[in-house]
Structure 1
Amino acid sequence: MKTKHLFNLLFMALAISFGACSSDSDGDGNGNGNGNGNGNGNGNDITSISVEISSSVACGIYAGDTVSFAVMGNNNTDVTNSATISVNGTAISGNTYTTTQAGSLQVSATYQDISTTNNLNVNVAVDNAKFTKHVVIEDFTGTWCGYCPRVSYAIEQVKEQTDQISVVAIHRYNSDPSQNGYDPFNFDEAAVMGVNSYPTAKVNRGSEWTFPEPSNIDQIVDQTVCDNAPLGLAITPSLSGNTMTVKVDAKFSQDFDFNNTKLIVYVLEDNLIADQENYTSYYGGVSILSNFEHDHVLRASLTNILGDDLPNNEVTNSVYSRTFTANVPSNVVDTNEMSIVAFITNENFTGDAFAINSRVAHFGDAQTFEEN
């Protein structure tokens, strides 16, 4: 009997022990009752939720776009499938919503008995026509500048990924062969742009291309992805004898009422041959790049190099046109290598100019607007 009694006691003790280890309670056996041993009393429980956009909106949200949402717990658990999402106070089916008009959307969510405390504000833009975006790169360079091939190489790398760039090589610094800094393609008018460090690559006439440029080509390429520029350009250049006629059209997809919107039109020349100093490892790392091909070289500006004013009352779907007639620049070597770059700038909130859009065209082209 004693043996049987001892056996029963042992069985009960084991049962209690195993029961404690397999319990679904929040206790952890250390007496703090938090379920995870950190003493905060919350374990993995969800105590708050937030709603966020889960679809890509890098290029903005426009009327007619479908947006996807996700509901996340404070412990980073995705509870979207078990939550109810509301847009402007009305519950939607599932987690997607198709916008119908421009404006602001207030998005909230509820999971079990927990609701979002801060609504997600979603701005929806008017779905006017959008134009292919071309990035302007103004490369301040010189044949005497040993570090300038670094930017030339970076531009070549960008061209391998996109053709949506308008490159202008602005050569400086001296036109006198007997002086230091001599460059046979020097463009004196660029002095007013205030660049004194070479190389300098201005992106959309605002920010500088981050050094080292060949390692930062995404800074350029990423700006061409969205294709949602609010204005587009179309250029028609023609040549008759020594006379250039360049027609530039600009179409606006939204009302423009800017105080300092300007048009810049450049004449460029490719395939100009001259030796180039090289202190870089690019192009084989040789110190002199003999008979180096210089492209996109600025030969003339048909406008003020800082831009000519545009009317400040351009409205949606209006087209601004201007035609330039001029002689071929006297410094041009081969008219077959000429091209035109046009771009329109505005001022940002700090008063600095930036290019809204640009375009490059060759003589004989008759471009149309690139509307998306």
Structure 2
Amino acid sequence: MKIKSILKQLAVVTFVVFAFACGGSDDGGAASSITVTGNPSTVFAGESVTFTVTNNLGANVTTSSELKVGGTVISNPYAFSTAGSFEVTATSGGLTSTTTITVQPIPVPTSITLSSTTDSFWYDDGQASLLVVTNLGNEVTVNSTLTADTGVVTNPVTFANPGTYNVVATYELEDGSTLTSNTIELKAVESTHTTKVMVEDYTGTWCQYCPRLAYALEQAVASNSNIIPVALHDDNDMPFPNITSLLNTFNITGFPSGRVNRTINWNESTAQPAALLNNRQNMGLAISSSISGNTITAEVKVHYDLKITSENRIVVYLLEDGLVYPQINFYNGDPSSPYYQQGNPIQDFVHDNTARTTFTDVYGDPIPFADAATGSTFVANYSVTVPASVQNTANLELVAFVVGTDNKVLNVQKADLGEVKDFD
């Protein structure tokens, strides 16, 4: 009986404790405090602060809270317009919390710097984009006045005439004072060089179709002297020392093959290379040479109207005209061909513009960047021993050309041995 009584008392106590525990959570654990924070807590005047309010239970109650500064309700986020230290009070469900926001005055720049995307460009279709930055790192280009020797200019800057122009920027502060930038020099450049185009004829005396391309090249050159021909032979009569390397590099798999400016397949029309003559190039070339005994010396100059953005290289060929060797002729029976009934082979076929050797690496020697700036002139001096294959030094000529990193010819010049060929 005592055991039953004790068990009954324990059950009652347990029920009371359970009921009391449950009764204590009926209100859901009401919050007893809130905390307001500002992000960031230190700002410049005019910058916004975002406020967050949380209660001691970890719940975000920002949207149900009211924010005040000096008794005035403010929005969230809020931008303080003046400098100072401000107490922000948040109220939520009768609970309050305060945080302090420090507002610093907007820093005032003390200097500005003017820069440009380029210091030189073609005056008639080029431009330079300018940038004005304060010493605080803020860009103020659109709020600055840009002035050149010609007067106020817009950005990007262009000029109606070639020349060198000094440009400066001014920036007015809120107090009416003015900051003046450094002065930069811009060169509006005029093109002074003629663009020429090189056509290389990969050929051989054994090649029965090669007379066709040789004739097409002859006609192209006759129509425009700025088309420069070079014949690269792969035969036993007039072999070019670097022919195998060129065949592999430029993927020459059949003869005849023509290449315009080294890398463009020629369709054997005059129009194709002639169209490239309208492409303005940054540079032009000049050649002078002489022969003494068995040694040829040459000076080649490359003048840059406008600087380059990638490496250039220079190649110089030695060519010979007037070489007579029999030429296989598929067109002997073709009435429409200029070689109709000329024989097969043509016994007295004259081979002109035949490459004999190079003064440089066949793919070019580098032109230093310092010598390829706007207005700069690169000068190179070469010498070569007359190849044993040369038949008549009076028929020698030099072809010099500049190539880019892709091996494409940018500009070319041709001169007879002993001739002084100036820039044109």
TM surpasses 0.5: yes
Matched, 1:320 2:373: no
Residue 365 of structure 1 and its aligned partner are, at CA, apart by 1.1
Q: Deviations over 1:25-63 (max 9, x none)?
A: xxxxxxxxxxxxxxxxxxxxxxxxxxxxxxxxxxxx964
The equivalences for 1:12-51 within 5 A come to none
The equivalences for 1:203-214 within 5 A come to 203-210=260-267, 213=268
Q: 1:206–1:354: 8 Å Cα contact kept in structure 2?
A: yes
Residue 64 of structure 1 and its aligned partner are, at CA, apart by 5.1
Q: 1:238 aligns with which of 286, 290, 300?
A: 290
Q: 1:131–1:227: 8 Å Cα contact kept in structure 2?
A: no
Residue 233 of structure 1 and its aligned partner are, at CA, apart by 0.3
Provide structure 2 residue ranges, at least 5 long, that are not aligned to the other structure. Answer: 1-120, 126-157, 163-186
Size of the aligned set, in residue pairs, is 237
Matched, 1:265 2:265: no
Cα 1:128–1:143 change in 2 (3 A) is same
Q: Deviations over 1:339-367 (max 9, x none)?
A: 000000003xxxx3211100110122112
Residue 236 of structure 1 and its aligned partner are, at CA, apart by 0.2
The equivalences for 1:273-312 within 5 A come to 273-280=324-331, 281=334, 282-286=337-341, 287-312=344-369
Matched, 1:149 2:211: yes
Cα distance in structure 1, aligned partners of 2:368 and 2:122: 28
Partner residue of 1:167? 229
Q: 1:354 aligns with which of 408, 411, 414?
A: 408
The equivalences for 1:108-119 within 5 A come to none
Cα distance in structure 2, aligned partners of 1:311 and 1:134: 23
Q: Deviations over 1:259-292 (max 9, x none)?
A: 3x21110100000001111113433324322210
Q: 1:132–1:227: 8 Å Cα contact kept in structure 2?
A: no
Question: What letter matches 1:128 in structure 2?
Answer: E
Matched, 1:186 2:239: yes
Cα 1:245–1:197 change in 2 (3 A) is same
Cα distance in structure 1, aligned partners of 2:340 and 2:408: 35
Cα distance in structure 2, aligned partners of 1:162 and 1:227: 15
State the TM-score, normalized to the length of structure 2: 0.53
Cα distance in structure 1, aligned partners of 2:317 and 2:352: 14
More strand by share: 2
Cα 1:64–1:204 change in 2 (3 A) is closer
Cα distance in structure 2, aligned partners of 1:63 and 1:257: 18
Matched residue SS, 1:341? strand
Partner residue of 1:131? 193
Residue 127 of structure 1 and its aligned partner are, at CA, apart by 3.8
Residue 159 of structure 1 and its aligned partner are, at CA, apart by 2.1
Q: Deviations over 1:188-212 (max 9, x none)?
A: 42211112311111100111101xx
Q: Deviations over 1:220-239 (max 9, x none)?
A: 12222x37321000000111
Q: 2:199–2:229: 8 Å Cα contact kept in structure 1?
A: yes
How much identity, in percent, do the aligned residues show?
30
Q: 2:160 aligns with which of 79, 82, 100?
A: 100
Quick one: higher RCO (CA 8 Å, sep 6+), 1 or 2? 1
Partner residue of 1:6? none
Q: 1:196 aligns with which of 253, 265, 271?
A: 253
State the TM-score, normalized to the length of structure 1: 0.60
Q: 1:130–1:227: 8 Å Cα contact kept in structure 2?
A: no
Residue 126 of structure 1 and its aligned partner are, at CA, apart by 4.8
Residue 325 of structure 1 and its aligned partner are, at CA, apart by 1.4
Residue 252 of structure 1 and its aligned partner are, at CA, apart by 0.5
Q: 1:222 aligns with which of 271, 275, 283?
A: 275
Matched residue SS, 1:284? coil
Matched residue SS, 1:155? helix
The CA RMSD over aligned residues, in Å, is: 2.2
Cα 1:366–1:101 change in 2 (3 A) is closer
Matched residue SS, 2:284? strand
Q: 1:62–1:99: 8 Å Cα contact kept in structure 2?
A: no
Partner residue of 2:155? none
Matched, 1:369 2:408: no
When Rg is computed on C-alpha atoms for both structures, the one with the higher figure is 2
